[in-house]
């Protein structure tokens, strides 16, 4: 239960604090999990490793692109690079389409938020403790900071309309932050949904 909450908070950090587009961008990178699966598929000469990243109805397109890429890869080093890049582009485009997102090309690895890299490291190592601690500490510090700011502004909120507005601004920042975390954790916990 605690692990589910911690992992859900990872999604919150990515989606809320770093922006939805950044969270989506991870699968668009050369070192992201989709292209890593494609490299394994090429190594094994088997499309199976990439199929989990696409919808079942998109399999024919990906299978055809993979077969063509495998053929072209054998025509020489330059053809190999071109064939791999074309397959990566097709695979990422189809993957993004399956998420209901637009395709904007393959992104540089620098576009991956650090928390996403840490999540991948945790999945590689089998140890989520560092990631969970970092996220928990970040959320705790941010809740405390926003609370303290709202509490301080509340003390003088009745002195003038300006000070009252300052309090309302701090109140909204604090409450919406807590509300957002709660909504994300309850949504992920209740439905077991995966969004990225």
Q: Residue 94: its pLDDT value, please? A: 96
Q: Residue 192: its pLDDT value, please? A: 38
Q: Residue 116: its pLDDT value, please? A: 83
pLDDT in tens, the chain (196 residues): 454 444 444 444 444 443 444 444 478 888 888 999 999 999 999 999 999 999 999 999 999 999 999 999 999 999 999 999 999 999 999 999 998 988 888 988 777 778 888 888 898 899 999 999 988 999 999 999 999 999 999 999 999 999 999 999 999 999 999 999 998 888 754 433 444 4
Among residues 17, 71, 64, 2, the alpha carbon closest in space to that of 181 is found at 17
Neighbours of 53 (CB within 10 A): 21
Global confidence as pTM? 0.60
Domain boundaries, the chain: 24-112, 118-191
Ramachandran class of 72: left when φ > 0, alpha when ψ lies in -120 to 50, beta otherwise: alpha
Q: Residue 188: its pLDDT value, please? A: 53
Phi, psi dihedrals of residue 29, rounded to the nearest 5° = -100, 160
Distance in angstroms (rounded) separating the CA atoms of residues 74 and 180: 51
Distance in angstroms (rounded) separating the CA atoms of residues 20 and 171: 24
């Amino acid at each position: 239960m605690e692990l589910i909450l911690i992992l859900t908070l990872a999604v919150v950090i990515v989606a809320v604090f770093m922006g939805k587009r950044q969270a989506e961008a991870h699968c668009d990178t050369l070192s992201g999990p989709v292209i890593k699966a494609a490299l394994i598929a090429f190594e094994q000469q088997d499309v199976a490793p990439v199929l989990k990243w696409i919808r079942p109805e998109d399999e024919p397109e990906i299978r055809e692109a993979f077969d063509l890429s495998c053929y072209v890869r054998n025509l020489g080093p330059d053809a190999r690079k071109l064939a791999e890049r074309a397959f990566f582009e097709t695979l990422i485009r189809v993957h993004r389409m399956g998420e209901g997102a637009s395709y904007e090309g393959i992104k540089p690895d620098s576009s991956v938020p650090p928390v996403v890299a840490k999540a991948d490291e945790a999945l590689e190592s089998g140890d989520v403790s560092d990631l969970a601690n970092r996220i928990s500490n970040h959320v705790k510090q941010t809740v405390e900071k926003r609370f303290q700011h709202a509490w301080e502004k509340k003390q003088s909120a009745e002195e003038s309309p300006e000070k009252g507005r300052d309090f309302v601004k701090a109140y909204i920042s604090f409450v919406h932050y807590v509300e957002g975390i709660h909504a994300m954790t309850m949504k992920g916990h209740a439905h077991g949904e995966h969004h990225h």
